[in-house]
A and B are shown apart, each in its own frame.
Chain A
Amino acid sequence: MRPRVLVAMSGGVDSSVAAAMVREQGYDVVGVAMRLAPEPSAPVAKRRGACCSHDDFEDARRVAERMDFPFYVIDLRADFAARVVDNFVSEYLGGRTPNPCVMCNREIKFDRLWSRARALAADYVATGHYARIERAADGRFHLLRAADLAKDQSYFLFTLGQDELARTIFPLGAMTKTEVRARARALGLATADKAESQEICFVPDGDYASFVERQSDPAQLRPGAIVDRDGTRLAAHLGVHRFTVGQRRGLGVAGGQRLYVREIRPASGEVVAGRREELDSAGLVASRVSLVDDSLALEGELSVAVKIRHRHCAIPATVRVDSERRAEIRFASGGPAVTPGQACVFYRGEEVLGGGFIERAIAQEQVN
């Protein structure tokens, strides 16, 4: 019997080509589109990029028809709401800046979808992620950056371990986006020239603050003051969820020098502002650390490069992981603004070693 692959399809070009490729490789392909966000109640103007819409699922269905494999829409709205959206809201309310794509991969695509795959007797899950999986001679699996560094999504996948990698296929990992589009056109896929999807699918207008406010009880919001490093009050604000460490716009502080959010103190509602250079940090503390290969010796220090935001470049650092799965990361030279809630991913060359969720920055030694 041919191995069965469950392919997660959004209707976009990437997952469409991924599905077509595993089909061409001779797998027994089952396509699924995950219904994650609630359907908008009122008819809305065409929102290209916001996924889970009827049109996107019809695009995915057309690909399945053309490539002749079964396709289903599966309803994971309750799972997505409980494990991704609620987390997103509570992180913002707690003064942190979450990365829901990491949570969605960990909780939905490589947990709930995997359970569904086993229920459907699938041997593998395939997605349109840009990342590579390699199996070494010793049988261990390695997670690597995509060949197309501009599209690389390995940052969002650091929570995957050996079990997940052994059963996952990323058909696009060795391809560039241009190649993927060309492939889609060659296959006659309707989705070949579709626009890129945006980062947070359930907040299509990008207004996270309003989304958090709609999803929470007003009593949960933490309004307070914007203060400087000495505690001097500069302005009032409507809630810590409206701020991200490193943010400059929207502080509502008049005059003088440019100010940035340095620190958010959810308990007191204080947002500490400071000058650009005051954002620099010496390192960070991360929790819930996971390693792609648990057999990796992490005793003592490990020299790695860390990415502390998806769009940042990796910077040299040392990592020390303790038995509580907390890590202390020290940047080799002065580091950028550290944003609690984001993922800190450890790289060695092309390879993802693991990562964790940022708890707090480690301040630079006072030099000024």
Chain B
Amino acid sequence: MPIYLDHNAGAPVCAEAAAAVARLSADMGANPSSVHRSGQRSRRMLEVARAQVASIVGAEPRQIVFASGGTESNNLAIFGAIATAARRRKIISSRIEHSSILAPLAELERRGFDVVRVAPDSDGRIDPERVLAVLDGETALVTLGLANSEVGTIQDLAPLASMCATAGALFHIDAAQAAGRIPLDVAVLGCDLMTLSGHKLGAHSGIGALYVRDFTRIAPIMFGGPHESGLRAGTPNLPGAVSFGAAAEAAMNALGAESVRIGSLAASLFTRLREAIPGLRLNGPMTGRLPNTLNLTFPGVLGESMLIALDLEGIEVSMGSACAAGAVEPSHVLLAMGRSVADARSSLRFSLGRNNTAQEIETAAAIIPDLWRRVAAAEPLSEVGAR
């Protein structure tokens, strides 16, 4: 079995979600919108799942809209929000967001919207003052990630809620990486919209959700039946929702103890690697970070080579984002934090999760320094590119 350290890309399906979907698969699988009793049973399962998901962010079940994943939820939040604020043409975000926010914003820019992307500091933190400085009566939406997927920096977003409310702008938080890893409460954060993703916290992929505080402030982007309070047409993905509900409940039950356990595993991995690899650098802040995420710059090597060498030894990590042809582009997050392209190309993301054991981390910590020495000796950066 590989040592899987790529939970920010997708967590393995947890036992609770697998069992819930197995139970559902043995059932009729009727449409939750149908009037008959099989349909009613499906509807009940859907609503149980909705309540389970709502409870991890402190929301009312009716405020949770199921969608196909974090990407759809972000698209719904962004395009749905601007549809109700026709006069306002400004959207504020940051340079370190996920592609499912950056790409919709680039599209809106092509359509003539004014998109402001706030720069982070060198630890990947967004200063709320910088957002406030550009927030005005023209602003339709402020959309920001709560925990960064690549470096794990957790933003201090709560101060923005009242500012957005005062300016009349909607406030959307992408919590895909935060949910199930740190305590979340929509009342504390004060956001209007919040994106959640199932497979990041142990559900099957293909399910996500959008928390909507007030349904009058958002319009659907897909049209069809009156499902999901009229905001997301299409027969609900019942197995996905049931999986999401079970995984969310399991993650919430384990949250306190697990974040301490995973945090100490990550800390011990970093300590061991730092002792063995001179010049190893942690990207992101020392505190105020996701406990499971370590983004590390390995001196003198290509991250791509390290990634493959690690995979051949059964240690699975990731870097940047893979483009269509499979080659890996340097992380836009690290570049926005002021790292050089060369440093970004030397960086890897380790993201731990519920299944990881102390033994696995011990094994990884023992293997990685040897691999780094081998790769650095065989393929020094001085030989890369021109000679």
Chain A residues within 8 Å of B, Cβ to Cβ: 30, 33, 35, 39, 52-54, 57, 70, 72-75, 77-79, 82-83, 86, 112, 115-116, 118-121
- Which chain A residue lies CB-closest to B323? A39
Q: Is the CB of B386 within 8 A of A121?
A: no
Q: Is the CB of B326 within 8 A of A115?
A: no
Min CB distance B137 to A, Å, is 38
Other than A116-B378, A118-B377, give 18 A-B pairs with Cβ distance below 8 A: A35-B325, A57-B325, A57-B326, A70-B312, A72-B326, A73-B326, A75-B328, A78-B385, A79-B385, A82-B385, A83-B386, A83-B387, A116-B305, A116-B379, A118-B378, A119-B375, A120-B305, A121-B312
List the count of A-B residue pairs having beta carbons below 8 Å apart. Answer: 68
Give the contacts of B250-281 with A (CB-CB under 8 A).
Answer: none
Interface 0/1 of B295-308, CB less than 8 Å to A: 00000010011001
Instruction: Verify if B311 is at the interface (C-beta below 8 Å from A).
Output: yes
Q: Is the CB of A82 within 8 A of B326?
A: no
Q: Is the CB of B308 within 8 A of A74?
A: yes
Give the contacts of B222-259 with A (CB-CB under 8 A).
Answer: none
A-B contact pairs, 16 of them (CB 8 A): A35-B325, A35-B327, A57-B325, A70-B312, A72-B308, A75-B327, A77-B327, A82-B387, A83-B387, A116-B305, A116-B379, A119-B309, A119-B374, A119-B378, A120-B309, A120-B312
Instruction: Verify if B384 is at the interface (C-beta below 8 Å from A).
Output: yes
What's the Cα separation between A70 and B313 when bound, in Å? 12
What's the Cα separation between A33 and B327 when bound, in Å? 10
What's the Cα separation between A57 and B323 when bound, in Å? 12
Chain B residues within 8 Å of A, Cβ to Cβ: 301, 304-305, 308-309, 311-312, 323-328, 374-375, 377-379, 383-387
Q: Is the CB of B325 within 8 A of A73?
A: yes
Residues of B within 8 A of A79 (CB): 384-386
Q: Is the CB of B309 within 8 A of A121?
A: yes
- Which chain B residue lies CB-closest to A35? B327
Interface-centre pick from B308, B374, B383 (highest chain A CB count, 10 A): B308
- Which chain A residue lies CB-closest to B309? A120
What's the Cα separation between A338 and B332 when bound, in Å? 50
What's the Cα separation between A74 and B309 when bound, in Å? 12
Min CB distance A114 to B, Å, is 9
- Which chain A residue lies CB-closest to B313? A121
Residues of B within 8 A of A112 (CB): 383-384
**Within the complex, which residue of B311, B379, B386, B387 is in contact with A119, where a contact is CB–CB below 8 Å?**
B379
What's the Cα separation between A118 and B380 when bound, in Å? 11
- Which chain A residue lies CB-closest to B387? A83
Residues of A within 8 A of B301 (CB): 119
With A79-B384, A115-B378, A115-B383 as contacts: A120 and B308 at CB distance below 8 Å: yes
